[in-house]
Amino acid sequence: MQQNPSASPAPILVVEDDDLVRMVAVDMLEGVGFEVTEADTADAAWSLLEKGCAFGALFTDIDMPGSMDGLTLAGRVAERWPRIRLVVTSGRYGLRDADMPDDGRFLLKPYRQDQLLEAIAAAA
């Protein structure tokens, strides 16, 4: 499935503490033309957001070190920047889309590129 990058003109913020998993996700997104910014913790992602970096979507893992996990990050982003699309992932937790804040999507690990792109497109 090919994604049209113009459908999400702002960069995607990928938040994942596992370097290899983050690299694969970034490659999947950049491979179809998205601009991607990376963060290795929810705290680092929050810092980027507060600095005024504009993102069209947030793709975050749940389990991470630091003061908040990815689900908390997604909830805070939904409250403060409701236009950012939210996609939350985990290999440990089997959540549903209905469990995500602000009409976000849940993506179970391991995921394929087409599943990631569909989740970003479907997030409201």
Cα–Cα nearest to 85, from 124, 112, 33: 124
| Mean pLDDT, residues 38-49 | 98
pTM above 0.95, yes or no: no
Q: Does domain 9-122 correspond to CATH entry 3.40.50.2300?
A: yes
| Mean pLDDT, residues 78-89 | 96
Instruction: Report the pLDDT value the prediction gives residue 83, as an integer from 0 to 100.
Output: 94
Sheet holding 105-108, edge to edge: 36-39, 12-15, 57-61, 85-90, 105-108
Asked whether the beta carbons of 58 and 25 are under 8 A apart, the reply is no
CB atoms within 10 A of CB 79: 10
